[in-house]
Amino acid sequence: MVAILGLLVAACQSPAARHGQAAAVPPARITITTGNLTFSSPAGAAAHRGSVVTSALHVLVDRRPDLGIEVSVTGGRLVRVSAVNGAGRAVAGIRGAGGAGWRAEWALTPGQAYRVTATAVNPRGRSSTTTGSFRTLTPRHTFSAMTSLGTGQVFGVGMPIMVTFSHPITRKAEVERSLEIWSSKPVTGAWYWMSNIQVWFRPRTYWPAHTRVRFEAHLKGVQGARGIYGHANLAQHFRIGSSLVAVASAPPHIT
């Protein structure tokens, strides 16, 4: 009876287990998502949401450049992501902790070709790579922005950053996420919408004296209203001068 049981156990074991080998670990699965397109490993096949692309010659069009690019991985970790436009310029991105994922910092430029290549490794160190190539849509309607702040000029401590748009903005949160401010001294403030075409940034109190400020609006590809996309970025840098605050009181004034 003992001998028969031993034969049964040996027969149920896989060849790898009988020889002391570890079970095979599948490669990490990579998914590249951009707007309405998804590129997935292991085959690297591309698909529109809900429909498979059958022709390799078909030009894939990302119709939502405002959603940017996201790369995720399961069963492993990302070790490298390369995202470049048609001119070979790298797309700025942020990698998640431990190589769990990657995403583009800003929206994608409309009417531009892109190529994304992502490489991941599974727990055994086996690498896999997925690539996606596509082109963003060329929108029929666009908007732009301007500011009255002149580059390199000096302003007072109470000066707001005023941005005016060429078209009414209905997706205000998306536009706000594209606005970036850097200052040489810590500043706490917020954006305030004065109307549908104008937004201001004001510090909570005043700008610190002699602060250097850089303002950038990464508006390319941002959907400011339904079907209306930003077609140009905006950048300005200026300096805050000495602090001079005048306080006036109206009640005691006598005419």
Tokens of 117: 């290549």
pLDDT at 246: 55
Q: How many of the other CB atoms lie within 10 Å of CB of 218?
A: 18
**Which among 48-57, 168-177, 236-245 has the top mean pLDDT?**
168-177
Answer yes or no: are the C-beta atoms of 175 and 106 closer than 8 Å: no
Distance CA 111, CA 117 (A): 20
Q: Could you state, in order of their start, the residue ranges of all structural domains in the chain? A: 26-136, 141-240
The CATH number that domain 141-240 falls under is: 2.60.40.3710
Answer yes or no: are the C-beta atoms of 203 and 189 closer than 8 Å: yes
Confidence grade of residue 55 (pLDDT, cut at 50, 70, 90): very low
pLDDT at 149: 84
Residues near 166 by beta carbon (within 8 Å), at least 6 away in sequence: 143, 144, 145, 146, 197
Whether domain 26-136 has CATH 2.60.40.3780: yes
pLDDT at 50: 36
Please list the residues that pair with 225 across neighbouring strands: 228
**pLDDT (average), residues 187-216:** 96
Total-model pTM = 0.80
**pLDDT (average), residues 31-50:** 72
**Which among 3-12, 126-135, 243-252 has the top mean pLDDT?**
126-135
**pLDDT (average), residues 96-124:** 95
Indicate whether 1 pLDDT > 50.
no
Order of all β-strands in the sheet with 141-143: 141-143, 228-230, 223-225
Angle at 137 (CA atoms; ends 49, 40), nearest 5 degrees: 35
| Same CATH fold assignment for domains 26-136 and 141-240 | yes
